[in-house]
Structure 1
Amino acid sequence: MNAYLNYTRLVLIFVFLVILAGGVVRTTQSGMGCPDWPHCYGRLMPPFSSKDLPADYKKYLDKQDIDMKYNPAHAWVEYINRLITGILGILIVIHVSWSFKKFFSSKQSIFWLSCLFLAGTVFEAWLGKLVVDTNLAVVKITLHMLAALFLAVIPALILHRLNNDKVVHDKNLLILTRITLIVLLLQIIIGTDVREQVDEVSKALNYQQRETWLSQLNAVFDVHKIVAIITSLLVILIFWRSLSHASLQKIALFLLLIVLLVAAAGFLLVALNIPAFIQPVHLLLSSVLFVSLFAFQLNLKS
């Protein structure tokens, strides 16, 4: 059992790695680094330089609206993102096979959750293709992010069902946690809209004058900051209320730590004029917070 649980944790870590890689792709403007899918310039691997491009490479460049010439760095960042997602798919196929062998005759719900995990990954890959085919359409990018969060909660649910942890009966804490989950999800959705605005502003300025980007965002950015403060306060309240339950104290402390890190990353994004290396970290931390909060509420009953 321990080997299966550890493998499930490994797959969950890979989901977070996919989310981080996706954040790096957006931060580096590499989303159209490979203008075709599943190939890259018609090949299995990106060319190492413009000298290695196929004869018909211009038909691929016509799909871009950023580089307009071959950028090997962008191509390889996007390719690595796809490669990590592909590895995740292989890991999940193994997970489904293992789940069938181990639980189909005893705990079928674990097997079907694993199948749902695989189906969600296929859907996520399909969404990724749509994002490329539509040149990074905004709505599809948001769906891409939400689908990744959905994927991450499935292994958390599997781990919960296989662990024999005691359930805490605290109706008020359960309600508070579910409200916080909804607010946090709203914050993440609004954050994708803010990120899209940053993309548009930065592109219009040819990715220069970074210090002026934030001043050109609309009121959605202010809403995002307000919702972030509300989320932080709610998590702090969850931590405070969890102190009376010994079995919840460790995960509640982890939630508090993560929300403080999310807040710190958000502060640095504003204070330092959106440094590129912090953006994917901010996204990753927000995703970890959401999944951890989801796992926390599984330990609660009214």
Structure 2
Amino acid sequence: MKKTRTLVLLSVVLAIIVITLGAYTRLTHAGLGCPDWPGCYGHLDVPKTAQEIERAEQAFPERPVETQKAWNEMIHRYFAGTLGLFIATIFIIGLRMRNQGMPLYLPLALLATVTFQAALGMWTVTLKLMPVIVMAHLLGGFITLCLLYLLYLRLTPYTIESGNKNLRQYSIYGVIGIVILASQIALGGWTSSNYAALACTELPICQSGWQQQLTFENSFDLVPPKRDTYEFGFLNHAERVTIHAMHRIGAIVTSVYLIWLALFILSRTSSRFFQRNALAVLAILAIQVSLGVSNIVFNLPLPVAVAHNVVAALLMLSLITLTYSLRRRVKE
């Protein structure tokens, strides 16, 4: 079981790397760096020689080869494919060890999720960055990471010393926090996939007059009008302002709730374990808010924008740790 737990932990780390690479690929506008799937211009890697590039551009005349963007996309695919193999291995182990206390449903859910995630990766390319597919692909990465981390927690034996035996009843507040944070991550994915990250350039919500620009008629339509490509977006400025403003408001709601949750837990327990977990949520939230503000102040610098995605994942993992631990049996 220890070796399996190590494999799951490695998969958690790999999933974080995949999320990082996915954000980098999206933010460098490399989502269509390879116009086909799963290869790149018919290759298992990127066309390199002049002859290969010429043949590639003849096969895909609408998409000239941009080597750097193509490598960004393919490196992301390599890591995602490796993660898929890790998860398939975990499922096989779960199947073989189901009578020895190894969870089976979590590995099964992981296998189903990563399989659908592969389909979303294909549709991201074939449907030319349709926003709902791009957002779903981002959420699929987060779901994969969360399921892997939950499996790791399930495989980790630990007993929690608590100064209050009734903490279990407060786990519902953690679940609510997870739902709120997941909704905010989805809003972030919708903002990014519709190229609305720079629609608002002032704090705290948007520039002057943003309330008059709000329009919900087309801003959140999951099925957009058919287009040859959705790269660089198709919504007008007011619709992008609406999406961005909702993401900002969502950030405020999420921050207020998570601050309340952490302070609530701190006030209800003398357990150092739960105090550390609650403080971790506060610390990661502070970093995430700082990154969000920096994105606006410094005009979406690439390292900060990528870190904003990664820290969102870490914030979710810290919240899962807190909520899952509240559900565990405490030492009498």
**TM-score with structure 2 setting the length:** 0.78
Cα 1:281–1:51 shift into 2, 3 Å: farther
The equivalent position to 2:101 in structure 1, one of 104, 107, 126, is: 107
Cα 1:28–1:107 shift into 2, 3 Å: same
Cα 1:200–1:259 shift into 2, 3 Å: closer
Q: Deviations over 1:152-204 (max 9, x none)?
A: 122222223223334663366323222221211111111122213336979xx
Q: Deviations over 1:217-265 (max 9, x none)?
A: 4122222122212222222222222332333122222222211111111
Aligned to 2:263: 240
> CA contact under 8 A between 2:33 and 2:72: conserved in structure 1?
yes
Aligned to 1:140: 133
Q: Deviations over 1:9-61 (max 9, x none)?
A: 11011111111111001110000111000111011111125542252533324
Instruction: Select between 77-86 and 224-233 the one with higher mean Cα deviation.
Output: 224-233
Q: Percentage identity across aligned positions? A: 24
The equivalent position to 2:109 in structure 1, one of 100, 106, 116, is: 116
Cα 1:199–1:40 shift into 2, 3 Å: farther
RMSD: 2.7
Identify, as 1 or 2, the structure richer in helix. 1
AA matched with 1:39 = G
In 2, the alpha carbon distance for the partners of 1:182 and 1:173 equals 15
In 1, the alpha carbon distance for the partners of 2:18 and 2:166 equals 35
In 1, the alpha carbon distance for the partners of 2:85 and 2:110 equals 12
The equivalent position to 1:182 in structure 2, one of 179, 182, 191, is: 179
Cα 1:264–1:165 shift into 2, 3 Å: same
Q: Deviations over 1:38-93 (max 9, x none)?
A: 1110111111255422525333242xxxxx42100000000000000011112222
Instruction: Select between 272-281 and 232-241 the one with higher mean Cα deviation.
Output: 232-241
Which segments of 5 or more consecutive residues in structure 2 lack a partner in the other structure? 200-230
Q: Deviations over 1:69-128 (max 9, x none)?
A: 210000000000000001111222222233334x322225x1332232122111111110
In 2, the alpha carbon distance for the partners of 1:139 and 1:17 equals 23
In 2, the alpha carbon distance for the partners of 1:183 and 1:290 equals 10
Aligned to 1:4: 4
Aligned to 1:80: 75
Cα 1:134–1:200 shift into 2, 3 Å: farther
In 2, the alpha carbon distance for the partners of 1:248 and 1:61 equals 58
SS in 2 for 1:36: coil
AA matched with 1:71 = E
Provide the aligned length of Structure 1 versus Structure 2: 287
> CA contact under 8 A between 1:41 and 1:54: conserved in structure 2?
no
State the 1:301 CA deviation.
3.9
